[in-house]
Structure 1
Amino acid sequence: MFSLILSSLWYNDIAKFGFAAMGRSGSSVVEPSSPSETLTAQSTAHKERLAGLGGVMVGIGEQVYSVLLLSFFFLEVFATGFIPYVGKAINFLLLSWMYAYYCFEYKWNFSEVALDKRLDYFESNWAFFAGFGSPCVLAIFFVSPLVSYGIMAVLFPLFVLAATCSGAEQDISFPRRKWRGVGLGRLPIFYAADSLSLWVLSLLPLEPQDKTQEIKAH
């Protein structure tokens, strides 16, 4: 348990140093290409949007929504394991997506990619992310939990580095029409978790429901 907690604390540092080793900073990509210039402009606009007290509140709301979304998705993954016959297969697929999202989330945080763009890009490239996360699930799916924790402590940082060194933030910075509609189409992976998250946020007394939608849009 101590090793698991310690490894979790190190994952962010591993991603940060991997991000720096690729010649990137937190807001730009040091490459003389059009996609990197687009990303720099996107990051600058994102910083300007988060300036001031209102921007801070939007940022906090986005983080709360993200935590709720991933928590409900994790419960969805857990629940599918109890479905007879097809439950294991569905559980395997959802776990693959979950690990893939966690791996790329570090990079998207450093690149300051908005949450709605992350989800849109992820669901539009669901086949790639299912394949990316499946080796992690294969390594732990058929062993005991204690052994699986040890395996993931070694494998997960490697996949975080692989995601960090990828060019996904360049693709996501393109106009949506350039990468949507390519391949198998968008799959609403987070639909159930998204609906439950918005429902929970709508119950909060501080913000009306229309503000909840605004937070998600940002």
Structure 2
Amino acid sequence: MSNTLNNIVAGVARGFRDAVLGTFKVYKLDMAIQADIATKSVEPMTTLARRRSEKMKHKKIEKDSEPLLRHRILQCCLLNGGLFWTSILIFNGLILPCLQWLTEIIFGGSADNAVWGWIGLALSMTFNTLWILPLFVLSKIVNCFWFQDIADAAYNKSRGHPQIPSISMFIADMSFSLLLQGLFLIQGMLVNFLPIPGIGQLVGHFHMCVLYSLYAFEYKWFNMGWEVHKRLSHIENIWPYFFGFGLPLAILTALPSSLIVSGCVFSILFPLIIISANEAEEPTESFDFPLKLFAPVVAISNAIFHHSITKRSMVSPSSRTTPVKRTRIAEHDRS
């Protein structure tokens, strides 16, 4: 029992260490990327290639002069922290108090609380609807592209070219993964309602740590060609490490009381966690006992996908193709 407890503590500590120390490797990766760019610029070129290079020099100089990783991380900080988070702080900490003070001066007396209650509610709803919600959606879309750029740049430099799947495999993998992550997030929220005091919150926090680790490592594992079930099995087999890896981000995102602010904190710090996951060397040996954390959501996801595929095959005209035609289609897809 004591040996198992020691292994858990050691795994959690190793994951926590890799998550924190890996963030300091941004500068090293950027220097390596810049060195590659400089090397390519002095390689011998043909006359045609030289002409093309001169033509595109002015367009590429700005892009090549800025380190990709730090540039993308800075963009994430400016969008999510400089624009999004700062606008919330200014509205709630400066604009609303000033308007409340003006309302008290204008109306005064005992009616000021009632009047400000309606005005403050209307202003907050308007601000959230016309600014916070659109900017939140926009930032999530933009962050997806920036996170992918950071992950691809770090992977290309430290691990080589990724294994690029076919379009159909990419769509199927992404769809299944998003569905599974959404269901696992719901599972983590539901366990907070366990009737045992303190246990529900602890298990829910454990789910968030593992989910954040899955978010971060999925970029690397996808580039390595790992399928979804292999990624989940890897996490379940060495869960103490991934619990410790996701623990710093889970703690920092749990500190704000607002979900919007928590999302800003996540978007600012997550690029660094992606790099930590790319540079980490997780344990290869399975833990004493694996935790089948994803078994319920995998079963639900498989059932949903099986039901949707079955329903589509019943209504799609392609389901009425002959066996010979199906074989030719399959051979064409493999080629």
Considering the TM-score relative to the shorter chain, is it more than 0.5? Answer: yes
2:239–2:287: 8 Å Cα contact kept in structure 1?
no
Deviations 1:53-99 (A, max 9, x none): xxx65664444332322221121122223334222111100000000
2:209–2:249: 8 Å Cα contact kept in structure 1?
yes
The reply to whether residue 65 of structure 1 matches residue 176 of structure 2 is yes
Structural mapping, 1:157-196, within 5 Å: 157-168=271-282, 171=284, 179=285, 182-196=286-300
**Structure 2 unaligned spans of 5+:** 1-135, 315-335
1:26–1:110: 8 Å Cα contact kept in structure 2?
yes
**Structure 1 equivalent of residue 155 of structure 2:** 19
TM-score, normalising length: structure 1:
0.69
Shift of 1:24: 1.6
For the residue of structure 2 that corresponds to 1:109, the secondary structure is helix
1:96–1:134: 8 Å Cα contact kept in structure 2?
yes
Structural mapping, 1:1-218, within 5 Å: 1=136, 2-27=138-163, 60-84=171-195, 85=197, 86-144=199-257, 145-168=259-282, 171=284, 179=285, 182-204=286-308, 205=310, 206=312
Shift of 1:188: 0.4
2:213–2:246: 8 Å Cα contact kept in structure 1?
yes
Q: Distance in 1 between matches of 2:147 and 2:251?
A: 21
Shift of 1:149: 2.2
- Aligned CA distance change for structure 1 residues 158 and 200 (closer, same or farther; 3 Å): same
Shift of 1:110: 1.2
For the residue of structure 2 that corresponds to 1:188, the secondary structure is coil
The letter of the residue matching 2:211 is M
Q: What percentage of aligned pairs have identical amino acids?
A: 24
Q: Which has the larger radius of gyration?
A: 2
Higher mean C-alpha deviation, range 10-19 or range 183-192 = 183-192
Count of residues paired in the alignment = 173
1:4–1:149: 8 Å Cα contact kept in structure 2?
no
The letter of the residue matching 2:245 is F
- Aligned CA distance change for structure 1 residues 110 and 57 (closer, same or farther; 3 Å): closer
1:140–1:148: 8 Å Cα contact kept in structure 2?
yes
Deviations 1:120-165 (A, max 9, x none): 2111011100110011110011212233223212211111000012
Shift of 1:108: 0.9
**Structure 1 unaligned spans of 5+:** 28-42, 51-55, 172-178, 209-218
For the residue of structure 1 that corresponds to 2:193, the secondary structure is coil
For the residue of structure 2 that corresponds to 1:26, the secondary structure is coil
The letter of the residue matching 2:206 is L
Q: CA RMSD in A?
A: 2.5
Shift of 1:113: 1.2
1:122–1:129: 8 Å Cα contact kept in structure 2?
yes
The letter of the residue matching 2:272 is L
